[in-house]
Amino acid sequence: MKINKGRRWPVWKLMIEAVWIILLAAILLGSGALTVEGSDIAISNLEPEIGRLIVVWAHGDLAEGEIIINEESFPFRADGERAVALIPISYWWNPGSYTLTVVDRQGRTWTKEEIRIQKADFDESYLTVDEEQEELVRPTDPERQERQRKDRELVARARAESRRERLWDSAFIWPLEGRITTDFGATRYHNNELANRHNGIDIAAPVGTPVAASNTGEVTLAADLLATGKTIIIDHGWNIYSSYLHLSELKVEVGDKVEQGQEIGLVGATGFATGPHLHWSLSYNRIFLDPRDFVELEL
Ligand SMILES: [Zn+2]
């Protein structure tokens, strides 16, 4: 009697097969690719540091869906054939494991993925602040307090209603060239007291150096504010805003449409500034993120 051994796989072959499957799974997980009922999801970074932007790409079916992470919801947006969701990892989040859940437009929860958020190696910056400067940041004078309240309202209004469509079609650019004096996320100490985190990048440049719009958008604020001096905020759509502080001159007005690279103002040292520089920041959903992530944002 002849036994057909060809139909049975020897153990070593099964083991090789198993190794292959594990390797494939590791590659897929490593690149942040998963499958939601037939549609692939790609995540730009599964181990981001705090203060960074994560981009999630999915099939167009998910365009009206959302992502939930850390009890916050971020929408998927239609972008050509695909759906894209941006997830801002605030520098106030605690490092650790977070579950990322994909929800489709019918509210069905489909996929869960673990995002391991890392701590960031932010600089520490110490400033010696005299009384006059302190009055700009934390005024005691009632008139100045009233002005600060109005300034905050203006800034909040400038970031309140972003255009639904994105107004740009290429990655963001640096607004000028210069030496970085205080980087994004730096822990700020004013007279040795923990003040805040630095929500943008300070770029030193001589007074009068032209400042370019990081990307195409619409000006939602162009005003002289107490703490930040002459300030511009641009709405780029999708709840992304760029801001330019301490300018010596404003070259745009609220409502102006600006092109990427267009001169919008000149470097100065207005407001609370120890020397001429541009404070440049980018926010998504009112969360400030490392502007470099927008410079590298290819959508
Ligand atoms: Zn700054």
pLDDT of residue 185: 95
| Residue ranges of the chain with per-residue pLDDT less than 50 | 1-7, 23-24, 26-31
Cβ-Cβ contacts under 8 Å for 7 (sequence gap 6 or more): none
CA of 279 to the centre of ligand 1 (A): 4
Q: How far is the CA of 281 from the centre of ligand 1 (A)?
A: 8
CA of 3 to the centre of ligand 1 (A): 79
Q: How remote is the CA of residue 180 from the centroid of ligand 1, in Å?
A: 10
Q: How far is the CA of 188 from the centre of ligand 1 (A)?
A: 10
Closest CA to 238 of 259, 215, 270, 222: 215
pLDDT for residue 131: 82
Q: Give the pLDDT confidence score for residue 36 in this predicted structure.
A: 54
**Radius of gyration, CA atoms only, the chain:** 24
| Distance in Å, CA 214 to ligand 1 centroid | 17
- Give the sheet arrangement for strand 193-197, strand by strand: 124-127, 187-190, 193-197
Q: Measure 140 CA to ligand 1 centroid, in angstroms.
A: 22
What is the spatial distance between Cα 177 and Cα 172, in angstroms, rounded to a whole number?
14
Q: For residue 91, which of 47, 51, 121 has the smallest C-alpha distance?
A: 51
- Distance (angstroms) between ligand 1 centre and the Cα of 67 equals 31
List, in order of start, the domains of the chain with CATH numbers: 5-117 (2.60.40.1930), 124-295 (2.70.70.10)
Residues with Cβ < 8 Å from 194, sequence gap 6 or more?
Answer: 187, 188
* Strand, coil or helix: 12: helix
pTM of the model: 0.85
| pLDDT for res 12 | 60
